[in-house]
């Protein structure tokens, strides 16, 4: 499907410079795009490609001042990256909307309820009392346990497993291989050195507009709910333990782990491979650097931390700068010690 620059501009509230009838039918990176493709420029370090690219249509920021003529039709917007993301979302919706109906073989318990305009791929399993909302897409190998509720406009990719009693809100996306509602890591140590399993009878709640990456595990609560609040985005390969709460619009990067009963605030950013211990609170707006180990609560909103154990980001940078200077400092101290020793010796002689 092909769209003109004018049509694309209408979708993203942009203004066309150049040929408004220039057409694009696919997407391309600005440094590699071919005629008939749409590209975007948001990062200034790629500006050189703006003047050499073969793309037919390019989305750029309103603030960008051209240094030389551009052959492509330009669409100026407030934020090129966001506008491009909007277009990609629109394209993806067009593709997924074409998926409809129930393939075979599928197991659907007689008590399961399915909304309208759904797509249920082959080898999907819907257990007792499952409820699936309108416009949901379930790809091959999805498993929904007893009493699972899936809201409207959700997409569960191949191999997603949702255990009993878990609840998904509207517009939730879960990528392949992710497990929602597996048992929390709860064991009571015994006198003989063994461990007795503590039954995990809670559930997981994913609120609206949550997106979970591939091969992530979110454990069910021991009692109550593990909760991922609306708009939160979790990357691939993340472990979220039982009774954790992740706040609204919080983002967590790959290979991070959050231990049990920790409460993470709203708009928090957690870098890759970071670890957060259990039973602590992370204040709203906190930023946790990659590979940090957070061992105590972050109580002040909008605090940035790094290191293991994690501490204030700015202080950590100062400490690193001092550490780099230690060899030179050692040399200077040694020279000062020799000078002091020489002065003492001279004084004794006098």
Q: Active-site residue numbers?
A: 242
Q: Select from 263, 208, 204 the least CA-distant residue to 233.
A: 208
Cα 26 from Cα 30, distance rounded (Å): 12
| SS3 call for 315 | helix
**Residue 205 in contact with residue 166, Cβ under 8 Å?**
yes
List C-alpha distances in Å: 201 to 126, 149, 220: 20, 17, 8
**Residue 91 in contact with residue 73, Cβ under 8 Å?**
no
Cα 174 from Cα 234, distance rounded (Å): 10
Residues 6+ positions from 112 with CB-CB distance below 8 Å: 126, 127, 128, 129, 130, 131, 132
**Residue 152 in contact with residue 137, Cβ under 8 Å?**
no
Strand 263-264 relative to strand 245-246, pairing: parallel
For residue 60, what are the β-bridge partners? 76
Residues 6+ positions from 4 with CB-CB distance below 8 Å: 20, 21, 22, 23
Residue 333 parent element (H or E): helix 326-349
Q: Select from 284, 292, 283 the least CA-distant residue to 311.
A: 292
Cα 276 from Cα 262, distance rounded (Å): 8
For 75, list phi and psi in degrees, rounded to 5. Answer: -120, 115
Q: Compute the Cα dihedral for 98, 102, 103, 106 and give only its sign.
A: positive
Cα 286 from Cα 49, distance rounded (Å): 36
């Amino acid at each position: 499907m092909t769209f003109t620059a004018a049509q694309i501009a209408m979708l993203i509230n942009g203004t066309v410079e150049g040929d408004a009838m220039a057409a694009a039918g696919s997407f391309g990176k600005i440094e590699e795009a071919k005629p008939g493709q749409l590209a975007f420029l948001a990062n200034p370090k790629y500006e050189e490609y703006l003047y050499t690219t073969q793309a037919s249509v390019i989305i750029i920021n309103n603030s960008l001042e051209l240094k030389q003529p551009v052959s492509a039709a330009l669409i100026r917007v407030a934020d090129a990256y966001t506008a491009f993301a909007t277009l990609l979302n629109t394209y993806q919706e067009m593709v997924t909307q074409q998926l409809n109906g129930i393939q075979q073989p599928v197991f659907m318990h007689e008590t399961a309820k399915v909304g309208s305009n759904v797509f249920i791929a082959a080898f999907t399993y819907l257990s007792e009392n499952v409820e699936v909302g309108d416009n949901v897409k379930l790809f091959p190998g999805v498993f929904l346990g007893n009493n699972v509720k899936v809201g409207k406009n959700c997409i569960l990719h191949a191999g997603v497993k949702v255990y009993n009693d878990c609840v998904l809100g509207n517009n939730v996306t879960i990528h392949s291989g992710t497990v929602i509602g597996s048992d929390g890591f709860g064991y009571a140590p015994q006198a003989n050195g063994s461990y007795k399993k503590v039954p995990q009878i809670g559930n997981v709640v994913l609120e609206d507009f949550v997106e979970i990456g591939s091969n992530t595990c979110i454990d069910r609560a021991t009692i109550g709910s593990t909760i991922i609040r609306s708009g939160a985005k979790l990357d691939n390969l993340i472990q979220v333990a039982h009774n954790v709460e992740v706040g609204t619009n919080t983002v967590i990067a790959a290979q991070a782990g959050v231990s049990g009963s920790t409460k993470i605030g709203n708009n928090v950013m957690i870098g890759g491979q970071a670890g957060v211990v259990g039973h602590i609170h992370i204040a709203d707006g906190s930023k946790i650097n990659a590979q940090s180990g957070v061992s105590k609560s972050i109580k002040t909103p909008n605090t940035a931390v790094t290191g293991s154990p994690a501490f204030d980001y700015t202080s950590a940078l100062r400490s690193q700068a001092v550490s780099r200077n230690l060899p030179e400092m050692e040399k200077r101290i040694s020279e000062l010690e020799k000078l002091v020793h020489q002065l003492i010796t001279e004084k004794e002689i006098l």
